[in-house]
Every structure is written in C-alpha cells, then in structure tokens.
C-alpha cells in the first residue's frame, strides 16, 4: 500500500498530542455511473499541521473538489466514500454517525464554497444565516453571545457589522465571498477547506479575499486547504502545494520545492507550462488530455503523457514515496530513494 498504512499505528497515537491536526488516510471515493465505476479518489493520504496552508492543484476532474466533499462527508449518490479515514484532532470523521458529522461540520471542519455568488440564501438576511449556523451547533448560547460571535466574525473578514442586517443581493461578489468566510470561521474550526474561493472574482478582490483567509487563519491557527487552479496564487499565499492527477495525490511539497524543483513528471510539466517573463511568446503545454476516470490507463495513470514512462509505469501503480524532507511523490522513478 502506501505511506498511510506504514505510519498508521504509530501516528494515530501521536496525533492526539502535538502531531498534525488533519490526517487523511487512504480516502477512496467511487462514483457509480451508468457508464461504469469512476474512482474519483484513489487512496489519498496526507497530513496537515495547525497553522499550515496547503494548496491543492490539478486539472478539472482530478478529484480536488471530490476530496473536499469527501472530507466533509458530503459526497452525494451516485458517489460513495468506500474507505479511509479523516482525522481532525483526535476524531475520525468517518466513524461518526450522521448527527455527529452534522455537528462536526463547521465546528471542526469548515467548508468555504466555490460558488460564493450563489451560496447565500437570497430571501433571508445575512444575520439569520449566521445565527442559524451557530444555533444548530451551540443550542445553549445566549443571544448576546451569538451576536458577539457574528460581529467578531464579520470584523475578522473586514466587513462592517451592518452587513448582518443586509441581504445577499445587496452585497458585491467580494463581500459575499467574505461573508462565506465569516460563516466558515464562526465556530473556530480546526480545519478550513476553501474550494476555489477566488475563482469568480477579479484579481484585486482575489487578493483581498486571500489576505482575509490569511488573517483569519493567523487568528484561529487552523489548518487551511485551498483548492484552486491558479498556480500564481498558490505560490504567493500557500506553505505547501499538493498536486492531484486522476484521483491520486501525485506530489506534496513545500511551495519553494514545488516551484524550483518539482519531482513528479506531471508536476514538472505543470510547473514548466507556467508562463515566465523570460520566455515570452513561448507556451509549453502538457501533451495529451487528462484521462477519463471511467477508463484509467493501467499502472500509473499519467504514463501515456509522461516523457519518462517506463514499462513498469504501464503495468504497476506507483506507491507514494516519502523523500527526504517529508516530500511525497507517487512515481516509480523515486522508488529506490525512499
């Protein structure tokens, strides 16, 4: 298998103490479609410490959003979580019952949605949508405490507390996104997943939103996972970058390592496809297309597009290697080094 199984026993005990706040182990999600089984997440494992920001990149359909939904246990039929664990602090979310999971959402692990434009109920005030989130977790909270919490959250995302009394259609796109962040932090979650929180915004607003996320993370010391396509944004704001391909995590490295010395051939191709100031006019794409999850290539899913593919790549699924410095790479090239 991979890293998770080898480390399982030892790290499970350590997690309760000062280890990573988030541990995802062997997460498997399958969609049962009319056309066949699509394995959207294939044994994804990683860890994240409190106060760390990890960017999650990959092509459309590589499983980034599925990973986020699986961590929230929000995969809907025909999709199914078929295995794995998501440890937040000392709790395995997969072992909770439905009511336990409902309570864990927002209070332990919060999700900031992709479509912030439409993520707020158009017919109720922003305040009501914040209050009902608090009330459904902290039923004994006093009115004053609820109010203080909302004001604190709105101030944390640099919004005027007056937004409390407004409706979604009275806010700009950036403000709506910040309201979503404010709702996400209401219960001081240990893990925050932001699914492309800046995708529908202009660059100036993108920067403001990212700074807001930075700021609230400093305040809460949560672990943040940011899902997105924007490599520039990742380079500027993240501590660590994870690359996904066809439902697998192919590489996890610090931002510096990823951008200066990517290890996985896919990451290498991804990084070298980025436009630079030096070679203007030249664009180096990655040949081929992302594979369909219904008909994954044998062995390493990237082998048909990989310049370094070997016979072994075609026949054997690479395991995740742990390189010195804690980097994770799922490629046969590094099998000896680990």
Partner 1 sequence: MNFKLIAKRLSFLVLVIWAASTIVFFVPRLSPRNALRERFAELARSGGFAPGDIEKLIANMNQQFGLDKPLLEQYWTYLGNIVRMDFGYSLNRYPATVTDIISQALPWTFFLLLFTTILSFIIGNLLGAISAWPKSPRWLRGIATPFVLLTGVPPVIMGVLLLFFIGFRLKLLPLGGPYSIGIVPNWSWEFALDVLRHQMLPALALILGSVGGWVLSMRGMGVTIQGEDYVNFAEHKGLTGGRIFRDYYLRNTLLPQVTGLALALGTLVTSALVVEQLFGLPGLGQVLNNAIRSNDFPVIYGIVLFITIAIAVLMAVLEFIYPLLDPRVRNQ
Extended strands (E) in the chain:
22-33, 36-48, 53-57, 79-88, 91-92, 109-112, 191-195, 223-227, 240-245, 248-254, 321-322, 328-329
For the chain, the first-to-last Cα distance in angstroms comes to 14
Per rule CB under 8 A, is residue 115 in the interface with partner 1? yes
Distances (CA, A) of 67 to 113, 251, 260: 13, 15, 26
- DSSP 8-class letter at 168: G
For residues 40 and 261, what is the distance between their CA atoms, to the nearest angstrom? 28
Q: Which is nearer to partner 1, 137 or 314 (CB)?
A: 137
Per rule CB under 8 A, is residue 136 in the interface with partner 1? yes
Q: Which of 12, 137, 215, 317 binds partner 1 (CB under 8 A)?
A: 137
Maximal C-alpha separation, the chain: 66
Per rule CB under 8 A, is residue 121 in the interface with partner 1? yes
Q: Which two tokens stand for residue 271?
A: 């990084």
Binding to partner 1 (CB under 8 A) within 52-91 occurs at: 72, 74, 76
Q: Which is nearer to partner 1, 105 or 149 (CB)?
A: 105
Q: Which of 123, 204, 277, 289 binds partner 1 (CB under 8 A)?
A: 123
Contact 176, 95 (CB under 8 A): no
How many residues sit in the footprint of partner 1 (CB under 8 A)? 31
Q: Which two tokens stand for residue 212?
A: 């807001």
Q: Which is nearer to partner 1, 136 or 315 (CB)?
A: 136
Closest to 94 (Cα-Cα) out of 7, 17, 24, 194: 24
Per rule CB under 8 A, is residue 285 in the interface with partner 1? no
Helix (H, G, I), strand (E, B) or coil at 241: strand
Q: Which of 12, 80, 102, 319 binds partner 1 (CB under 8 A)?
A: 102
For residues 269 and 330, what is the distance between their CA atoms, to the nearest angstrom? 15
Minimum distance from residue 164 beta carbon to partner 1 (Å): 15
What track of x and - describes contact with partner 1 for positions 157 through 186 (by CB under 8 A)? Answer: ----------x-x----------x--x---
Minimum distance from residue 170 beta carbon to partner 1 (Å): 8
Only one of the segments 116-124, 262-270, 297-305, 314-322 lies at the binding site for partner 1 (rule: CB under 8 A); that segment is 116-124
Per rule CB under 8 A, is residue 105 in the interface with partner 1? yes
Binding to partner 1 (CB under 8 A) within 207-266 occurs at: none
Q: Which of 31, 46, 87, 111 binds partner 1 (CB under 8 A)?
A: 111
CB atoms inside a 10 Å sphere around CB 153: 26
Q: For 284-294, b where at least 16 C-beta lie within 10 A, e where not — what string?
A: eebeeebbebe
Q: Which two tokens stand for residue 56?
A: 């999650």
Q: 233 CB contacts (<8 Å, ≥6 apart)?
A: 55, 198, 206, 210
- Which run of H or E residues covers position 65? helix 64-71
Minimum distance from residue 159 beta carbon to partner 1 (Å): 17
Only one of the segments 40-48, 111-119, 142-150, 330-338 lies at the binding site for partner 1 (rule: CB under 8 A); that segment is 111-119
Minimum distance from residue 26 beta carbon to partner 1 (Å): 24
Q: Which is nearer to partner 1, 102 or 215 (CB)?
A: 102
Per rule CB under 8 A, is residue 107 in the interface with partner 1? yes
Q: Which residues contact partner 1 (rule: CB under 8 A)?
A: 72, 74, 76, 102-107, 110-111, 113-115, 117-124, 128, 132-133, 136-137, 167, 169, 180, 183
């Amino acid at each position: 298998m991979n890293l998770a199984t080898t480390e399982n026993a030892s790290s499970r005990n350590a997690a309760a103490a000062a280890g990573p706040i988030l541990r995802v182990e062997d997460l498997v999600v399958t969609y049962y479609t009319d056309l066949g089984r699509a394995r959207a997440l294939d044994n994804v494992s990683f860890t994240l410490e409190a106060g760390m920001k990890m960017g999650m990149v990959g092509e459309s359909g590589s499983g980034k959003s599925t990973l986020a939904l699986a961590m929230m246990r929000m995969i809907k039929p025909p999709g199914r979580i078929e295995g794995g664990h998501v440890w937040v602090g000392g709790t395995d979310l997969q072992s909770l019952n439905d009511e336990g999971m409902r309570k864990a959402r927002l209070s332990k692990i919060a999700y900031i949605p992709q479509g912030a434009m439409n993520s707020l109920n158009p017919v109720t005030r922003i305040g009501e949508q914040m209050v009902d989130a608090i009330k459904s977790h902290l039923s004994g909270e006093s009115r004053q405490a609820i109010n203080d919490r909302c004001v604190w959250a709105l101030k944390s995302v640099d919004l005027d507390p007056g937004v409390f009394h407004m409706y979604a259609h009275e806010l700009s796109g950036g403000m709506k996104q910040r309201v979503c962040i404010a709702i996400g932090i209401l219960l001081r979650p240990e893990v925050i997943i932001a699914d492309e929180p800046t995708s529908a915004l202009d660059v100036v607003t993108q920067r403001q939103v990212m700074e807001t996320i930075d700021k609230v993370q400093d305040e809460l010391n949560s672990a943040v996972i940011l899902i997105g396509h924007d490599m520039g944004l990742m380079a500027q704001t993240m501590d660590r970058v994870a690359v996904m391909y066809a439902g697998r995590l192919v590489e996890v490295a610090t931002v510096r390592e990823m951008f200066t010395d990517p290890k996985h051939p896919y990451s290498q191709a991804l990084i070298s496809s980025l436009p630079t100031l030096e070679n203007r006019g030249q664009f180096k794409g990655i040949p081929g297309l992302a594979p369909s999850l219904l008909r994954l290539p044998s062995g390493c899913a990237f082998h048909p597009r990989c310049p370094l593919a070997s016979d072994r790549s075609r026949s054997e699924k690479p395991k995740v290697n742990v390189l010195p410095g804690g980097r994770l790479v799922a490629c046969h090239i590094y099998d000896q080094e680990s």
